[in-house]
Amino acid sequence: MTVTDGIPRLRGADSTVALLREGYAFGAHRFARTASDVFETRLMLRPAVVAFGEEAARLLYEPDRTTRRRALPPTTLTLLQDRGSVELLDGEAHRHRKQMFMSLMTPAALAEIGDLVEREWRTGAPQWAGSGGVVLFDAVREVLFRAVCAWSGVPLDREDAGTRTRQLAAMVEGAGSVGPRNLHGQLLRHRAERWAGELIARVRGGDPAVQEGRAAHVIARHRDAEGRLLDPDVARVELLNVLRPTVAVARFVVFAALALHQHPECRTAVGENGYLRWFVQEVRRYYPFFPMVGGRVQQEFDWRGRRFTPGSWLLLDIYATNHDPRLWADPAAFRPERFGAWDGDPYTFLPQGAGEFSSGHRCAGEWLTISVLERAVRLLTTGMTYEVPLQDLSVDLTRMPAAPASGLLLTDVRPA
């Protein structure tokens, strides 16, 4: 390690292999080694500054200071946001597109997605009860896909739901890797894009099956700041950017079920006023989801004794920030009560990004995530009974994205 300014620089040619090998703990290991909340390394042979904490979050999410363009590896970008999406826009173009998504997140719409999740959950539960057991991760993915399709106005043949769910799930599963898992996700993404593109064309052709005001219709008919319809390729990307992240919430649902199993005192407490929200927020803080988010400098600035010029690559370690002892007392403990004292600072708690929603780069679907999770926790605690047999419930932090090894097998499932 060398220090020429306020930022330690790691020795070695490149840290890409170490990142892939160590996963979520990559940053934490080096923050400890350097006794610093920031370090410089090389990733994919390019210089990168990796940081965590509130100060770093404010730095990266300062409006228009950085861009998300060229801030993610192409193999990750094409499975998640993809080219032309809202996340890769800047300035007024980003704010205009972001408002399209935020217009979908009304209180009524957020309540409706919870209702649809419950409907699909209760529809599927008798099948779970009639089998020898159900892997919750797999089952909830399809529940959420069916629910978000109904919410978005996407016509769906029930026989087609399993195939489409697997396509969207493969995008998320492949995003944190290279090799076969990533290639599999890329292949299935192409199939999902064709399907989404056909739907966009149907809406623009006047197909009455897609209700006006639903996400699919809003995206297909959206016009940019210059009054032009979105390019069909971009429109299908943005439709998938509603569907895929909702399916990804299944990971949080499974982590919530794991927390209920390992902290049984929470099962009763979530019925109390306020505790359900604390519990859901602690699930989102404690368990791994996105490991990092990146940005490329647009506006030159000085930080920690260094001049950051346009094009400099910054990475914010989300997992480390959500476990930062400067922000969270005893961060390795699962303690929902901590959110009773949280002041709501959007730069200290960032499972889905930092900053504000309406015009920044924080995830537009965060409140949808919370609504889905709260309904799922109620269903797990009051909507069904089940047993959790002996199984491997370990969470491997070297795998991105992480999940319980078994997917959380439930047996003796009985609807309440």
Span 298-332, pLDDT tens digits:
999 999 999 999 999 999 999 999 999 999 999 99
Output the CA torsion sign for 146, 148, 151, 156. negative
Cβ contact 116:151 at 8 Å:
yes
Total of domains in the chain: 1
Q: Does the pLDDT at position 1 exceed 60?
A: no
Q: What is the dihedral angle through the alpha carbons of 120, 181, 405, 362, rounded to the nearest 10 degrees?
A: -60
Span 162-172, pLDDT tens digits:
999 999 999 99
DSSP designation for 212: T
Q: Which of 401, 366, 365, 377 is CA-nearest to residue 117?
A: 377
| Position with higher pLDDT, 150 vs 3 | 150
Span 264-288, pLDDT tens digits:
999 999 998 899 999 999 999 999 9
Angle made by CA atoms 252, 354, 152, in degrees to the nearest 5: 55
Q: Rounded mean pLDDT of 179-205?
A: 94
Span 98-137, pLDDT tens digits:
999 999 999 999 999 999 999 999 999 999 987 789 999 9
Question: Residue 57: pLDDT band by 50, 70, 90 thresholds?
Answer: very high
Using alpha carbons, list the distances in angstroms from residue 319 to 7, 265, 315, 349. 20, 26, 12, 10
Question: Residue 360: pLDDT band by 50, 70, 90 thresholds?
Answer: confident
The whole-number pLDDT of residue 316 equals 98
The whole-number pLDDT of residue 82 equals 76
The whole-number pLDDT of residue 3 equals 59
Per the annotation, does 149 bind a ligand? no
Q: Does the pLDDT at position 161 exceed 60?
A: yes
Identify the three-state secondary structure at position 47. Answer: strand
- Domain coverage including residue 283: 2-415
Q: Rounded mean pLDDT of 209-235?
A: 96
Supply the CATH number for residue 100's domain: 1.10.630.10
